[in-house]
């Protein structure tokens, strides 16, 4: 039986989602409980791997099990064993060929920043950017990203994937009470891509970089965007599926 799980977590005290020996990770935490239940190791497969300090409002993983339980029972048992920074939102019985990663139609990320005075209660939850920002300049920088492009300029130099073409369906900036949220939806994202996009848009909004997005994309040169925005402001907000 294949079980699909919708999970939220505060990533501040995790070294990312993916299991790492001797480090606290979301995958390691969940698999530890599943091993306790099954008396043997059970691998979970996630829709994506978030980095250290990145949060998830909605992340999916699946696993196979011989234990026949109702979804609500799975949810209750798993939640009872989870630490305070993990919540099991929903559990469902998936088709045998369902795959959390390969069946994902797309993802939505939200990047949260606040301006002005530093707020200790946002530590680890929002990125502090203590500069005045022009929303029109940020919107000008964002608009050309919509569509299908080669995002080499906006991917990590560590990215091992050769095909850097991705499709962005929505990218918008939302003014909040004390800052801005960037919300971006796409069919897929490269390593660090959202955080690099956020850093670029913030520099445009601050006025230290002129919005020149189409030429930046065309350059296919990672070195012209040297910065990556901090992990703490990034949230995996939604994973889109057609058949779950």
pLDDT in tens, 51-78: 999 999 999 999 999 999 999 999 999 9
Query: Rounded to an integer, what distance in angstroms lies between the CA atom of residue 236 and that of residue 35?
Result: 26
Which residues neighbour 97 within 8 Å (Cβ) at sequence distance 6 or greater?
none
Query: Rounded to an integer, what distance in angstroms lies between the CA atom of residue 167 and that of residue 106?
Result: 9
pLDDT in tens, 8-39: 999 999 999 999 999 999 999 999 999 999 99
Is 51 annotated in the active site? yes
Do both 162 and 211 map to the same domain?
yes
Which pTM does this prediction carry? 0.95
Which residues neighbour 136 within 8 Å (Cβ) at sequence distance 6 or greater?
none
pLDDT in tens, 140-164: 999 999 999 999 999 987 767 788 9
If one counts the domains in the chain, the total is 2
- CATH code of 78's domain: 3.30.70.580
pLDDT in tens, 178-213: 999 999 999 999 999 999 999 999 999 999 999 999
Q: Are 8 and 85 in contact (CB under 8 A)?
A: no
User: Do the annotations mark residue 109 as ligand-binding?
Assistant: yes
Dihedral through CA 170, CA 186, CA 142, CA 152, nearest 10?
-160
Both tokens of residue 150? 């080669």
Q: Which of 22, 51, 97, 123 is catalytic?
A: 51
- CATH code of 198's domain: 3.30.70.660
Do both 87 and 116 map to the same domain?
no
């Amino acid at each position: 039986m294949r079980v699909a799980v919708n999970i939220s977590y505060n990533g501040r005290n995790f070294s990312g989602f993916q299991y790492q020996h001797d480090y606290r990770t979301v995958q390691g935490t969940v698999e530890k409980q599943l091993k306790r239940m099954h008396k043997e190791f059970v691998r979970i497969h996630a829709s994506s791997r978030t980095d250290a300090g990145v949060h998830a409002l909605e992340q999916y993983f699946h696993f196979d099990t011989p234990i026949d339980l109702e979804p609500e029972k799975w949810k209750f048992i798993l939640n009872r064993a989870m630490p305070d920074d993990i919540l099991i939102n929903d559990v469902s019985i998936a088709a045998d060929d369902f795959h959390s990663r390969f069946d994902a139609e797309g993802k939505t990320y939200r990047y949260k920043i606040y301006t002005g005075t530093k707020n200790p209660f946002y530590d680890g939850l929002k990125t502090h950017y203590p500069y005045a920002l022009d929303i029109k300049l940020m919107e000008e920088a964002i608009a050309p990203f919509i569509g299908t492009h080669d995002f080499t300029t906006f991917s990590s130099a560590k990215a091992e994937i050769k095909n850097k073409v991705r499709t962005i369906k929505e990218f918008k900036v939302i003014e909040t009470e004390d800052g801005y949220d960037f919300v971006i939806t796409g069919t897929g994202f490269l390593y660090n891509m959202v955080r690099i996009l956020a850093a670029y848009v913030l520099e445009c909004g601050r006025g230290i970089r002129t919005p020149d997005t189409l030429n930046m994309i065309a350059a296919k040169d990672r070195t012209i965007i040297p910065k990556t925005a901090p992990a703490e402001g990034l949230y995996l907000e939604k994973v889109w599926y057609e058949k779950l």
